[in-house]
Amino acid sequence: MTRFGKYIDRGLKNLSREAVDAALQRAGMDKSAIEAAIVGNAVAGLMFGQECIRGQVVLRDMGIGGIPIINTENACASSSTAFHLAWLYVASGMYDVALALGVEKLYHEDKRRSFQAIGAAVDVEIMQRIMAQMAATSKKEGEEGGAGESRSMFMDLYAMAARDHMHRYGTTKEQFGRVAVKNHYHGSLNPHAQYRERYTLEEILASPLVAEPLTRLMCSPIGDGAAAAILCSEEKARQFTSKPIFVRASFVDSGKDHRPDEPGATERIAAKAYEMAGVTPEDLDLVELHDASAPAEIILYEELGLCAKGEGGPLIDSGYTELTGKVPVNTSGGLLSKGHPIGATGVAQICELFDQLRGEAGDHQVQGAKVALAENGGGMLRAEVAAISLHILST
Mean pLDDT in residue range 291-320: 98
Domains and CATH numbers, the chain: 1-395 (3.40.47.10)
Amino acid identity for residue 214 in this structure:
L
Judge whether 303 and 160 are in contact, CB under 8 Å.
no
Residue 88 has pLDDT above 60, yes or no: yes
Provide mean pLDDT across the span 305-316: 98
The pLDDT tens digits of the residues spanning 18-56 come to 999 999 999 999 999 999 999 999 999 999 999 999 999
Predicted confidence at residue 147, as pLDDT, reads 56
Does 108 qualify as catalytic in the annotation?
no
Pair 236, 28: CB distance under 8 Å: no
Tell me: pLDDT of 203 over 80: yes
Nearest to 292 by CA among 379, 389, 366: 379
CA 105 to chain centre: 15
Average pLDDT of the chain, as a whole number: 94
The whole-number average pLDDT for the span 245-252 is 98
Per-residue confidence at 146, pLDDT binned at 50, 70, 90? low
pLDDT at 280 over 50: yes
Average pLDDT rounded to a whole number, residues 127-141: 64
Is 150's pLDDT higher than 60?
no
Cβ-count burial 128-160 (b if 16+ within 10 Å, e if not): eeebeebeeeeeeeebbeebbeebbbbbbbbbb
Is 70 exceeded by the pLDDT of residue 143? Answer: no
Catalytic residue among 84, 184, 186, 340: 340
Does position 136 have pLDDT exceeding 70, yes or no?
A: no
142 vs 303, more confident: 303
Q: What is the pLDDT of residue 141?
A: 47
Task: Assess whether pLDDT exceeds 80 at residue 138.
Answer: no
Q: 3-class DSSP state for residue 98?
A: strand
For the chain, what percentages of helix, strand and coil (3-state, to nearest 5) are there? 40, 20, 40
Q: Taking Cα atoms as reference points, which of 272, 269, 373 lies closest to residue 321?
A: 373
DSSP 240: T
Dump pLDDT digits (tens) for 162-189. Answer: 999 999 999 999 999 999 999 999 999 9
351 in catalytic set: no
DSSP H or E run through 38: strand 36-40
* Per-position DSSP letters for 252-306, written without gaps between them: EEE-----TTS--HHHHHHHHHHHHHT--GGG-SEEE---SBHHHHHHHHHHTTS
**What tens digit of pLDDT does each residue of 345-392 get?**
999 999 999 999 999 999 999 999 999 999 999 999 988 999 999 999
- Give the residue among 189, 183, 219 at the shortest CA–CA distance from 329: 183
Please give the span between the terminal C-alpha atoms of the chain, in angstroms, as a whole number.
Answer: 21
Q: Are strands 69-72 and 36-40 parallel, antiparallel or unpaired?
A: parallel
Q: Which residue has the higher pLDDT, 352 or 143?
A: 352
Which residue has better confidence, 133 or 60? 60
Confirm if 27 and 240 have CB atoms less than 8 A apart: yes
Own/partner pairs, 254-262, CB within 8 angstroms, 24+ separation: 254/386, 254/387, 254/388, 255/381, 255/382, 255/384, 255/385, 255/386, 255/387, 255/388, 257/382
For the chain, give the number of residues: 395
Q: How would residue 134 be classed by pLDDT, with cut points 50, 70 and 90?
A: low
pLDDT digits (tens, 9 = 90+) for 255-271: 999 988 899 999 999 99
pTM (two decimals): 0.94
Amino acid in the structure at residue 338:
K
Per the model's pLDDT, the better-predicted residue between 3 and 127 turns out to be: 3
Q: Give CA separation, 329 vs 138, 190, 364, in Å.
A: 32, 14, 11
Q: Which residues contact 360 (CB under 8 A, 6 or more apart)?
A: none
What one-letter code names the amino acid at 244?
Answer: P
